[in-house]
Amino acid sequence: MVKAALLALAAMVATPSVTDACINGTEWTVNDDIRMVKKSERHLENGQYELALRTLKYLRPADKRLQARMADIRAIIAIRMHDGKADLSKWVAQIETRDDAAKQKDIKFRAWRAEAYVAVGKRDEAKLILDDLHARDLVPDAYGYLALAKVTSGPTRLEMWKACRTRAKDKSMCELPSEVASARARKAPTR
């Protein structure tokens, strides 16, 4: 009988109570910040801009490098979703700063800089960067080819558009503005 009582007492003491579960909280670490930034970057690559921004919404890392990567993501999303109305100077400056810091050797930042220049109408500067990347076969993704297609014309434009469609996961992102249709609209007489 005493053995049974001691065994029951030992079992009660050895097992944690339900209230102990509240003490076992989770701690957010730098690795979690890195994981969330990488997840946002994957969404960016897939063209899922809303998901990328939502992933970063409440993230406040202390690490300066992660903060810079988050700013890059926000800048590229703003540039790619540009509707022609918003001021992009802040975002273009962000990309230019990062490209300069990388000493213009990181092709991702070079291509992003060209995308930014296309968005703000600096077509000649964008073309110089993209022609250099294309000549060295270093255009990093479909967005780079789309930007190159936007600043070229004729058969080269068609070739870059095809390269964009070949590399894009979502083919609809390779849509080009119709310059022919807008030129016709300007020439059409009004009644």
pLDDT digits (tens, 9 = 90+) for 41-58: 999 998 899 999 999 999
What does the pLDDT read at residue 84? 81
What does the pLDDT read at residue 1? 72
pLDDT at residue 103 is higher than 50: yes
Per-residue confidence at 179, pLDDT binned at 50, 70, 90?
low
Rounded Cα distance between 47 and 40, Å, is: 11
Rounded Cα distance between 68 and 65, Å, is: 5
Pair 56, 71: CB distance under 8 Å: no
- Looking at the chain, list the stretches that DSSP marks H as alpha helix, in order from N- to C-terminal side: 2-14, 30-45, 49-56, 64-80, 89-101, 107-119, 123-135, 142-151, 154-167, 179-187
Entry field: residues in the chain: 191
What does the pLDDT read at residue 85? 85
Rounded Cα distance between 127 and 13, Å, is: 73
pLDDT at residue 137 is higher than 90: yes
pLDDT by residue (tens digit) across 1-53? 777 766 666 666 555 555 555 555 667 777 889 999 999 999 999 889 999 99
**Stronger pLDDT, 155 or 2, i.e. the higher one:** 155
Percentages (nearest 5) of helix, strand, coil residues in the chain = 70, 0, 30
| Helix (H) or strand (E) run with residue 85 in it | none
What does the pLDDT read at residue 18? 53
DSSP string, 157-191: HHHHHHHHHHH-SSGGGG----HHHHHHHHHSPP-
Rounded Cα distance between 83 and 12, Å, is: 65
- As a whole number, the mean pLDDT across the chain is 85
pLDDT at residue 76 is higher than 90: yes
Residue carrying the six token digits 């960067």 = 129
- Tell me the mean pLDDT in the region 137-166: 94
